[in-house]
Chain A
Amino acid sequence: MSDLDKAIALLRACRLIPENQVRELCYKARELLIEEGNVVGVDAPVTICGDIHGQFHDLMELFRVGGDVPDTNYLFMGDFVDRGFYSLESFLLLLCLKVRYPDRITLIRGNHESRQITTVYGFYDECLRKYGSANVWRYCCEVFDYLALGALVSGAATNLEPTSATLADTFVDTDDSQSSTPATDYADIDIEVLNANNEILSRYRRRDRDPLMSSSPVRGGMSGSNGAPRAAGAAGTGATADSGGSASNDGGAVLCVHGGLSPLIDTIDKIRLLDRKQEVPHEGAMCDLLWSDPDEIDGWGLSPRGAGFLFGADIVKCFNHRNDLSLIARAHQLVMEGFKEMFDATIVTVWSAPNYCYRCGNVAAILELAEDGSNAGFARSNGDAGRSRGLPMPMPMPMPGIGPGGLQGQGQGQGQGQGGGGLIPRQMDIGHRMAPGRRYRVFEAAPQDSRGMPAKKPVADYFL
Chain B
Amino acid sequence: MLLGTDVTQVEAWRKLQEKLTAASVTDRSALLHRRANDTRSDVVRMIDHAGQGHIGGDFSVTDILTVLFNGVLRIDPNDPQKAGRDRFVLSKGHCAAALYATLASCGYFSPDELLTFMGPLSALNGHPNRNKVPGVETNTGPLGHGLPVAVGQALAAKLAGNGARVFAVMGDGEMQEGSNWEALMTGAHYGLDNLTAVVDRNRLQQGARTEDTSSLDPLDEKLLAFGWELRIIDGHDYEQLAAAFKPSSTGKPVAVIANTTKGKGVSFIEDRVEWHHKVPSTEQVVLALEELA
Query: A and B: real partners?
Result: no
Binding site for B on A (CB under 8 A): none
The interface of chain B, by Cβ under 8 A from chain A, is none
